[in-house]
Copies of this chain bind each other. A is one copy, B any other.
Amino acid sequence: MNVIIDLCVIPMGVGVSVSEYVVACHEVLKEAGLKTELHAYGTNIEGEWDDVMDAVKACHEKVHVMGAPRITTTIRMGTRTDRTQTMEDKISSVANRL
């Protein structure tokens, strides 16, 4: 089952700037070979469900190892069985009509 998710990982208890943790998550996602696209409030990720969710777990583990005692993450996740749809498809279905 393919999934497109939108991931936002928030480390808590590490101060106000969290970019180093977001960078580390991107390295985790890249090592997992997943297709990603960064935006200003999260990251789009596309792939097979288990690969994507294993990578999300690896992000939590990495951010804890880096010293964050608490993490709160939000995810949007979409699956469909009627047809395949990539992240680019989703954007162009809207952008082509703007």
Contact = CB atoms under 8 A, between A and B. Distances in A.
Interface of A: 1, 4-6, 8, 10, 12-13, 15-16, 18-20, 22-23, 26-27, 37-42, 44, 46, 49-50, 53, 57, 60-61, 64, 69-82, 87-88, 90-91, 93-95, 97-98
Contact of A72 (B27, B69, B76): B76
Contact of A23 (B50, B90, B94): B94
Contact of A70 (B70, B79, B95): B79
Contact residues of A: prevailing secondary structure:
mixed
B57 A81 contact: no
B82 A16 contact: yes
Contacts of A94: 19, 22-23, 26, 38
